Amino acid sequence: MRTPRVKPRTELKNTAYEIFIGVLSILSIVNLVLVYAMHGDGALQQILSVMNALFSVIFLGDFVYRMATAPSAGRYFLRGYGWADLLASLPFPQLKILRIFRLLRVYRLMRDVGPRTIWNTLIHDRANSTLMTLLLLGVLVFQFGSISILAVEGHAKGANITSASDALWYTIVTISTVGYGDQFPVTNAGRALGVLIIIVGVGIFGTFTGYLANLFLGPSPTSSPDVAATTPIADSSAAASGVAAGAASGAVAAGVASSAADQGAPATAQLGDRLAELLAQSERTTAELRRLVADAAPGPAAD
């Protein structure tokens, strides 16, 4: 019995996933700069704190995933800046600058692969590429949508989105397409932002649902070894029988036409001799094809 082929462990993960982590690393570093540059804006600081907490959870999961799938966990932790990934995922603002090591590793991996290979991979792996793109878009809309809706609605007349928690809650409820209605924009600009957030949310959850359905209900990528081993032989046998049957049919038809056209000898005797000759030739062809298929078929696998 054949054993399923195990995918070798590599430092480079899925290309779309690596790009997703790289962009989040850039965004997290930008947020760190904004935290120190806009220290006087309390609402912005609260939104950035929530986003940094979200990034910490994502990066901690990325660290665990890389440790579990690395060719050498020790090599990744010591020489692949795994220690920096772990420290940067902890909830300590002073350590978050270590996320630059994650960005450098993603850049190195992408550089080694090459832009043409990256592009071809993204085009052919459309399911993962679309999912990662929409998840990244969701993160961007969550952060900048919250900041924008607060900037637009915060000082509007009759507004009910007046704090960072209101903006974050409204964005979450809208992007998930739940829409409780307890927080809503009252300005035209705020409503336009709400429409954009709704469109992104529908795309994210629709794609994610289809991805999960394909993952759990789609065909297994590794089919049964026994079936995989016998399928080529069965196909070859069927092809041999089909070729032989086609040859016999064509030969019989040709013999009938030739016999009908021949007016010299007695029709019945000549037709019988011709059919017997063609049938014998067909049997020889079938036997030869079966012998070729048997020679090409692999022997039984050793236990």
Q: Residue 259: inside a domain, yes or no?
A: yes
Q: What is the pLDDT of residues 188-224, one digit of tens each?
A: 999 999 999 999 888 888 887 887 887 777 666 554 4
Same domain, 83 and 25: yes
Nearest to 145 by CA among 188, 202, 190: 190
Same domain, 142 and 76: no
Q: Residue 303: inside a domain, yes or no?
A: no
Residue 74 pLDDT > 70: yes
The answer to whether 255 touches 274, Cβ cutoff 8 Å, is: yes
Helices 164-175 and 126-153, packing angle to 10 deg: 140
Same domain, 213 and 138: yes
Task: For the beta carbon of residue 141, count every other beta carbon within 10 angstroms.
Answer: 21
For residue 262, give the DSSP letter. -
Q: Residue 46: inside a domain, yes or no?
A: yes
Q: What is the pLDDT of residues 253-288, one digit of tens each?
A: 555 455 444 554 455 566 667 777 777 777 778 777
Say how far apart CA 179 and CA 276 lie, in whole Å. Answer: 82
Joined together, the tokens standing for residue 116 give: 């043409």
Same domain, 112 and 30: yes
Same domain, 141 and 69: no
Same domain, 273 and 210: no
Same domain, 145 and 44: no
- Asked which of 220, 251, 280 is the last residue of a domain, the reply is 220
Nearest to 284 by CA among 232, 247, 236, 253: 247
- Asked which of 190, 220, 250 is the last residue of a domain, the reply is 220
Domains of the chain: total: 3
For residue 185, give the DSSP letter. -
Same domain, 164 and 257: no
Kindly list the distances between the CA atom of residue 60 and the CA atoms of 15, 25, 103, in Å, as whole numbers in the listed order.
19, 12, 15
Joined together, the tokens standing for residue 118 give: 């990256």
Predicted local confidence at residue 13, as pLDDT: 66
Q: What is the pLDDT of residues 215-252, one digit of tens each?
A: 777 666 554 444 444 444 444 444 445 544 555 555 54
What is the pTM (predicted TM-score) of this model?
0.63
**Cα 192 off chain centre by:** 32
Quote the domain boundaries for residue 251. 232-296
pLDDT band for 150, please (50, 70, 90 cuts): very high
Same domain, 159 and 117: no
The answer to whether 56 touches 91, Cβ cutoff 8 Å, is: yes
Same domain, 32 and 118: yes
Q: Residue 4: inside a domain, yes or no?
A: no
Say how far apart CA 17 and CA 10 lie, in whole Å. Answer: 14
Q: Residue 280: inside a domain, yes or no?
A: yes
Q: What is the pLDDT of residues 95-149, one digit of tens each?
A: 888 888 888 877 777 777 777 877 887 788 777 788 888 889 889 999 999 999 9
